[in-house]
Amino acid sequence: MEEQEKNTSPKRSLRTILFERWWVLLSVVCLLAVGIYVILTMTGKAQSRKAGQESKSAAPGTSVVAVQAKKTDFNVFITGLGSVTPLNTVTVKYRVDGQLMEVLFREGQIVNGGDLLAKIDPRPFDVQLLQAEGQMARDLALLKNAQLDLQRYKDLWKQDSIPKQQLDTQEALVRQLEGTVKTDQGQIDSAKLQLVYCRITAPISGRVGLRIVDAGNIVHASDANGLVVITQLQPITVIFSIPEDNLSQVLSRLNKGESLPVEAYDRELKQKLAVGALLTTDNQIDPTTGTIRLKAIFPNKSNELFPNQFVNARLLVAVRREAIVIPSSAIQRGPQGTFVYVVKSDMTVEMRPASVGEIQGGDASVKTGLSPGELVVADGADRLREGARVEVKAQSGNAVQKGY
């Protein structure tokens, strides 16, 4: 039995050793497999993360419209609502009574001062003139005879042939007849004047309105409406109001004798109608509105302005030389004040504090914070934040590349 056990022990030890070695080898292989798996997994994640970052960096930025800040002269205007007011408006009325025989103008016609507009029947006044001339001829004959008698009485009085009273009476008669002749001359002149009034002429140059009375009607000097209304169009004025706070700025330039240009625009402030100059200011401020009225005059050579037309008047009060100007839409407001989004060379934006001066229409002047040539976001700023990437487009919609 002892010999049998001695023979089987070495065999068992060899098996055990082989089994243990096989198990160690298997463990090493498993560890290697796990290591390779971990390495491959980490590498895949890193590549995925890198690809994600690259795709993210390659993604297009926010589409915005950007405009370069430019240095130029910036005009400062005061805008007020006004109405076109003619310098002169005349209602042509009748000076005599009679029948309206002819109307010689067309409605809407441009007439000059002195042009014949209408005629009234002159025959009644021709009769009055004839009567006055006949009366004057009679009185002139009486005056001439009285003057001859006066000369005779003077000679007789010198000879002491007549009393002084008779001479004085004759002198009084001569003076009475001289007065009568003057009255007759007045009657003649009055009749001639009535004949002049039978021809109705334009008192001013301008545009005639619609005819009020037709030919054939009997008209009177006491008629309220008259014949037609003539409105002067050249030159023409615009009366508009500005806040009283701007009055000192306007008066300071007027007192120096400077001419202040005024531009007339339509209701929507889009179309410029005419250019004129400030004529004067009113003599008092309206306490209910806190405004003062100003009057500007326009040549109106092409009849751009029409009486009683509502316009927006823009009064030029100052010119800022070499100011930095950007669109007013680029100005943003936040808790820290006004700022703009500046597009940098890497196509990202920077929030830049900016001190804003005057704003006129669609433009704004910037005192500090910008330099000429810098790109500022004019449209699309509401979708941006500090450091955001943008795709800049011009006003026409074409993309701007990095080499701007």
The residue ranges of every structural domain in the chain are 1-57, 62-75+321-393, 122-197
Q: What pLDDT, on the 0 to 100 scale, is given for residue 17? A: 64
Query: H-type helices in 107-215, by residue range?
Result: 123-158, 164-197
Query: What Å distances lie between residue 313 and 239, 269, 273, 319, CA to CA?
Result: 9, 9, 10, 17
Cα Rg, the chain, nearest whole Å: 52
Longest dimension (CA), the chain: 224
Q: What pLDDT, on the 0 to 100 scale, is given for residue 180? A: 95
The C-alpha torsion from 327 through 329 and 335 to 337, rounded to 10°, is: 20
CA distance 13 to 18: 9
Which residue numbers in the chain have pLDDT < 50?
1-11, 55-56, 58, 396-404
CA distance 88 to 204: 8
Asked if residues 210 and 227 have their Cβ atoms less than 8 Å apart, the reply is no
CA distance 342 to 324: 14
Q: Which residues pair with 102 in a beta bridge?
A: 119
Q: What pLDDT, on the 0 to 100 scale, is given for residue 6? A: 45
Give per-residue pLDDT as tens, 7-43.
444 445 666 666 666 666 767 667 777 667 667 666 6
Q: Quick one: 326 exposed, middle or buried, by C-beta within 10 A (0-12, 13-18, 19+)?
A: buried
End-to-end CA distance of the chain: 103
Neighbours of 5 (CB within 10 A): 8
Domain 62-75+321-393 falls under CATH 3.40.50.1000: no
- Give the SS3 label for residue 53: helix
> Which among 388, 361, 333 has a CA at the least distance from the CA of 77?
361
Q: What pLDDT, on the 0 to 100 scale, is given for residue 397? A: 37
Q: What are phi and psi of 189, to 5 degrees?
A: -60, -35
In CATH terms, the fold of domain 122-197 is: Helix Hairpins (1.10.287)
